[in-house]
Chains A and B, each alone.
Chain A
Amino acid sequence: MKQNLPAMTRYGRVLVIILFAGLLFTPSLIRRFGQPATARADQGSANAQSQHGFRLTDATRAAGIDFVHEGPTLDSKLSHIMPQVASMGAAVSVVDVDRDGLSDLYVTDSKEGSKNRLYRNKGDGTFEDVAERLGIAALNAPETGVSMGAVWGDYDNDGYDDLFLYRWGRPELFHNDGGRAFTRVTDAGLPAWANVNTAVWLDFDGDGLLDLFVGGYYSESINLWKLSDTKMMPESFEYANNGGRKYLFRNLGGGRFEEVSERVGLSSRRWALAAVAADLRGTGYPDLFIANDYGVSELFVNDHGHFREVGRDTGVGYAPKSGMNASIGDVFNQGRFAIYVSNISEEGILLQGNNLWVPSGGGNAPTYENMARAMGIDLGGWSFGAQFGDLNNDGFLDLYLVNGYVSASKTESYWYDYSKVAGGNQVVISDAKHWPAMGDRSLAGYQQKRVWMNDGAGHFVDVAQMVGVTDRYDGRSIALADLSNRGVIDAIVANQRGPLLLYRNEVAPGRAWIDFDLEGGCRSDTATPGCSNRSGIGAQVTLHWNGQQQIQTVTGGSGFCAQNQRRLHFGLGTSQAVEKAVVRWPSGKTQVLTSPSPNQVHRIEEPA
């Protein structure tokens, strides 16, 4: 047959062979020329600051912080897979606990009998642990469960942020008594037991009182220290609906809350790991985005106090992944929030890719498109917490991502056994006894962190190694705050079974900034329409400068088990003038600040 082929066909055969060879070479060409950019300068390079505009230095020890997280020891029926089950609990949240104008840090531990820390900022670059003295340290025990995280919000509008502590166990509310002590709120109406990994403060009904969303991970019927059987794992790696229930506690005033989730349309049994609340549609009411492990994300839009799940309609609830983070940022300076969700990526095994949901379409009915790949922020290993913040004050929001699941043996991996079971039917995956023993093996351990710098042109560049973020701990929670009131954003990272890290930021000179401390107008512990919660949670500031705009909002928790400083920080680049700042309060009031001065913190109270 070959001899009978016409000349054109023989020529064609050569062409097809060349084409085939070219196709096989394509991946290496793409790897060489088309991969997401990563800064290639030597780490610690002296020009890091001048090239990227900032440098992060590990200042943990200098700050007097010596916290090392320890994990829990759950029921012995799980001992063969304990490292992967007891893999969360390292969390950090930022609060100005005593209203001295300095950001303090609350850090959770998870070993039975361990103590949480409240690092009070002394203002000289050092911190002191005052948790024990204030009564919020010894909060981890088998009978109460162990801490998973904390969020702060002034639920009674007395001016001091109160503490909501969530556990795999009993969630608890602590009233902040003027920054001098905390009182356990015993009749708040919280459940006796829930295995929670996310909570956010929000005023969902606009009555001036902060309400509380709480998202369950494991079912609340499970006590992880007293298992009746081993059927406590997700029923599916991507379609699990046997997780913990969701709670929405409506603030009744007087330290009492009413659970209203079913009534207002907030019901789900997915495995929630992260949530963020923000007015995504300009309605004046906060919507709620939930990143779920073992399934799709959920977006509950808020129609005047009633929620409606629109994940699939808007595009964010389409492809199931392993959601572990929910944070928001105006990455294009277009006055709209994008939502960042972290997932799992492991070369050659599982490449879910992280999601950056960028809104398009009408303001009141946005649809979202995942642009993480296009912008170079999709692959971050076994990703956990992430936060947006302008780390180099260039006027564009950067992204700091922590990652790594279980770092144990440096030579043995659990990935094969993990993927083997994860692909199985629910009969297999949902029962821990079917999971192979993990031993000392690592699972996505020792991973390189990502500090993605926004170039302002639709792309992010990973500069982590160059700017000084070189740790390989199992990162869980990250929070951003200006710890020294210098007009720069520092980073605080909580690592599972690892040290709390404080990265002090040094920004190149010549870059301006402007900050806003917002305080809502409500002063009453009862519902007061027409004013906003005193914490200002839900308030939005849209800054207009140099022909561009950027929107930010005060959140009552974001990322993974984290809460940033409530103060809003804007980098201005080389601009030294701001046109205006438009403050939109949860009450609906709008306040316009004309030509606010840069390089200072503006303390804004909601007008009467």
Chain B
Amino acid sequence: MTADAIATAPPAGTGSPRRLRIDPSFLAPLLITCVLITGQIAFGFLESWSRTFLAIATAIIVELLVVRLLYGRWPHLASAYVSGISVGILVRSPAFWPYALCAAISITSKYVLRVRNRHIWNPTNFGIVMMLLLASDTVAGLSVQWGNNLLPMVFVWAFGAVILRMVGRLHITVTYVASFLVFAALRAGITGHPLLSEVAPITGPMYQLFIFFMITDPKTTVGPKWAQSLVAVLIAALETVFRLMQFVYAPFYALFIIGPIANLVEMAMTKERQP
């Protein structure tokens, strides 16, 4: 759910009184800032403030430069801000450069990897996967929990759900979570491992960012609601395959593959329908 994308998404409940409306372009930055502040105050979960600031600053600067260079205008920075924070939270490295590099790759991917003037990968997902593939000796993903106090986690989930409801994207998250749980049971049956060990990952913070900010991104998801839900199921299914192959960062890889394929299929079907 990138912020500029939310701005283009039709808010649910358009009949609500005007005074209750919030500029949708601020919803994603608001939510992820809440995640950042809650996590850091409650647990000090960041690798360091400086690394996160580096990621945010890089994302914003690259967005400014690239958009100016390509379109001769200054961009809305909400999307870059969200990407920068996501990178700052999700990337784990004792070095500084991966934070800047991941942010830069994420932003530039939006403007390079385009089909019919539409980017087909979620930028942060693309950046993270590239870092995991190309710099695994220096980079890992966020793979540990934020702490034991359930309250902050419940807050983030509840707040995230409200915002997703407002922008009409909650069904994607709900479908994905339900699918994850079903597939967790399937994996437990296949591997013989305790069910809770298969459920455990989704209680971690990596999934909070994944389900709120990646799989719901309107710019890189398909149009119809039923198709969005189907894609969420397919992501969870492919993730299960990767998990059975013991890929630690299975959800990122699953979205990396399913996301663009779904978009390309939709584009192809749209083209067929056009006279």
Chain A contact residues, CB within 8 Å of chain B:
1-2, 5-6, 8-9, 12-13, 15-17, 19-20, 23-24, 26-28, 30-31, 235-239, 296, 318-320, 345-353, 372-373, 378-379, 413, 415-417, 419-429, 433-437
Contact = CB atoms under 8 A, between A and B. Distances in A.
Contacts of A420: 197-198, 200-201, 248
B242 to A, nearest CB: 10
Interface stretch (B23-31, B109-117, B254-262): B109-117
A9 B70 contact: yes
Contacts of B69: 9, 12, 15-16
Contact of B134 (A13, A28, A318): A28
Given A12-B69, A348-B136, A416-B247, A425 B145 contact: yes
Given A347-B136, A417-B193, A421-B200, A353 B105 contact: no
B64 to A, nearest CB: 13
B101 A422 contact: no
A351 B90 CA distance: 12
Given A16-B69, A27-B101, A428 B197 contact: yes
B143 A239 contact: no
13 contacts: A2-B117, A6-B72, A16-B111, A27-B134, A30-B97, A30-B138, A238-B147, A239-B43, A347-B136, A348-B136, A415-B248, A424-B196, A428-B197
B194 interface: yes
B140 A349 contact: yes
A17 B114 CA distance: 11
Given A6-B72, A419-B248, A424-B197, A236 B145 contact: yes
Contact of B148 (A16, A17, A236): A236
Interface residues of B, number: 58
Nearest to B71: A9
Interface of B: 43-48, 66, 69-72, 92-95, 97, 101, 104-105, 108-109, 111-112, 117, 130-132, 134-140, 143-148, 150, 153, 191-194, 196-201, 203-204, 206, 246-248
A428 B148 CA distance: 11
Contacts of B117: 1-2
Given A348-B136, A350-B143, A424 B200 contact: yes
Given A351-B138, A416-B247, A425-B148, A16 B47 contact: no
B150 A27 contact: no
Contacts of A378: 94
Contact of A351 (B101, B140, B150, B192): B140
Contacts of B246: 413, 415-417
Contacts of A15: 69
A418 B46 CA distance: 22
Contact of B248 (A12, A349, A424): A349
Contacts of B94: 345, 351-353, 372-373, 378-379
Nearest to B200: A424
Given A236-B147, A319-B44, A420-B201, A350 B108 contact: no
A6 B94 CA distance: 43
B248 A433 contact: no
B44 A423 contact: no
A380 B70 CA distance: 44
B143 A423 contact: yes
Contacts of A16: 66, 69-70, 108, 111-112
B137 A347 contact: yes
Contacts of A345: 94
Contacts of B150: 425
A198 to B, nearest CB: 23
Given A6-B72, A16-B69, A20-B112, A348 B197 contact: no
B226 to A, nearest CB: 30
A24 B130 CA distance: 8
Contacts of B194: 433-436
B196 A434 contact: yes
A28 B130 CA distance: 12
Contact of B196 (A19, A422, A427): A427
A345 B197 CA distance: 22
A433 B134 CA distance: 36
Contact of B105 (A20, A318, A379): A20
B144 A351 contact: no
B196 A20 contact: no
A4 B130 CA distance: 32
